[in-house]
Amino acid sequence: MVSTTKAVIGITAAGASMISAKSIVQFDLHKHQGSINSKSVVSKDSSKDLSFELLNQQSFFSVDVSIGTPVQNPVTLLIDTGSSDMWVNGASVCLPGTYSNSSAFVSKKKRYASSVLEGFELTATYASTYFDQVSSDFIAPTSTGVAAVATGINCSTYGAFNPDLSSSWKQLNLGEPFGIEYVDTSQARGVYGTDSLSINGVSVPNTTFAVASFSNSSQGVLGISLPRDESLFSDFTNGTTYNNLPQTLKADGLISKVSYSLFLNSLCDQSGSLLFGAVNPDWYTGELNTVPLVNIYPGFSDVPIEFDITVNGVGIADFPTLGDRKTITKTNFPGVLDSGTTLMQLPPDLAFALADELDFVWKEAFGYFVGGCPSTEQLRDSSIVFNIGGINYYAPLNNFIYTTSSPDVCAFVVSPFESNGHFNNADDYSKYNNYAILGDVLLTSLFVVYDLESYEISLGVANYEGYASGSSDV
């Protein structure tokens, strides 16, 4: 473990040091909310269904990106540290009347007035469908005994891109067509190409991305993980990578090292930031503690391909019936720090053990652990504790408890890990089953530096007051 003091405010290729403001690119994050879809659970004591609708709202962070020459209407893309490809829906997948390229692009206000800080403003868009189920905007024909085929999606909310209308679009042959599928079974297929991006008036020319000719999600994705997490490489047959957005920012001289820091702020707040090439010391307290990424695919890659770190233990703190601290496990397991996932998945045995200690039981039809609602004091004072690199990080219990339409019923939104992968034998499954997806319910309590060149993660305790002060010193 490496400790980095708060005097270090920048990251360069030579290590942590002071850097020029010209090497910084900042995306401002803003949160928007939408409700999670309700599910029904059949009560053993009654013949009627109990419709537990989760009233809390989940999110994804997104950015409006304008593409092409001339610049087309912006498309809204999810910012995802759990994947590496940027892809947009092509206009050809849109339902009639849901795609338009007639409106003028309106630039958003930059966070900083300084001309040397390129401010890319993001909008955090909440959608119940992403990473939970296939988008409700996916339209399939009426069942006729033949497998459903996509006939189009609704592009009116998040937009689409028409490469035929861009003179700067260049289709690429990277050896394989584009294809990707996510944990929720949403997927996209299409072609690779390059074009100019405009984000809040900042131009990123010759960016490689994919245009989907098939998609079952109305939401495109801007993946910012490691190059070997790109779909071309992750099928383990092609082995090809390309410069995704973080790599392109360095190649274009906008940042000096392929790294960024992520501050999501508290779940109840409406702002956050993604800062490429630097660290803002006002956004965390104490020291940054650096841990190496772990390579969970040593048979396919000699370096890590995603942001997996080792979690050394999990416990519960300050829950009245458990005392000051209750250790649930000291068994190491890998987990990915994934901003594209709102909630959390843990190894099944651990998820059930946590829920049991908190008096929640699994409801398969509901898809969550269900139980009585903790008191206001318990939600305020209790935490789920994650030991990473020998340091305990506390995430408020309130982050993990969702209210429902029933005043006496709450959900514990840690789920047993499930993979959409395919395994050749039981040993492969057992290794991957001991895995976690660490989503925003934890990340909001942390300040995270993703170092894509050194294959390291640096963690700090999020400083909400420091961020709210609005300091632009980095």
| Residues classed as catalytic | 80, 338
d(CA 157, CA 220): 11
Amino acid, single-letter form, for residue 150: A
β-pair partners for 272: 29
Look up residue 468 and give its two tokens: 């709210």
Q: If we measure between CA atoms, which residue out of 66, 284, 45, 41 comes closest to residue 166?
A: 66
Q: For 277, list phi and psi in degrees, rounded to 5.
A: 85, 5
Write down the residue that tokens 């999990």 correspond to. 314
Would you give the DSSP letter of residue 96? T
**Amino acid occupying residue 379:** L
Please state the three-class secondary structure of 376-420 as a single string. Answer: HHHHHHCEEEEEECCEEEEEEHHHHEEEECCCCCEEECEEECCCC
Residue 55, burial from CB neighbour count under 10 angstroms (0-12, 13-18, 19+): middle
Written as one string, the DSSP assignment of 54-70 is B-SEE-EEEEEEEETTT
Q: What is the DSSP letter of 1?
A: -
Single out the residue of 51, 33, 68 nearest to residue 167, CA to CA.
68
Rounded CA separation 418/338 (Å): 15
Phi-psi region of 267 (alpha: psi -120 to 50; beta: other; left: phi over 0): alpha
DSSP conformation class of 72: P
Q: Distance (Å, rounded) from C-alpha 358 to C-alpha 374?
A: 9
Q: Where are the alpha helices (DSSP H) in 208-265?
A: 231-234, 245-251
Strands 410-412 and 75-80: unpaired
3-state secondary structure of 352: helix
Phi, psi of 261 (to 5 degrees): -115, 140
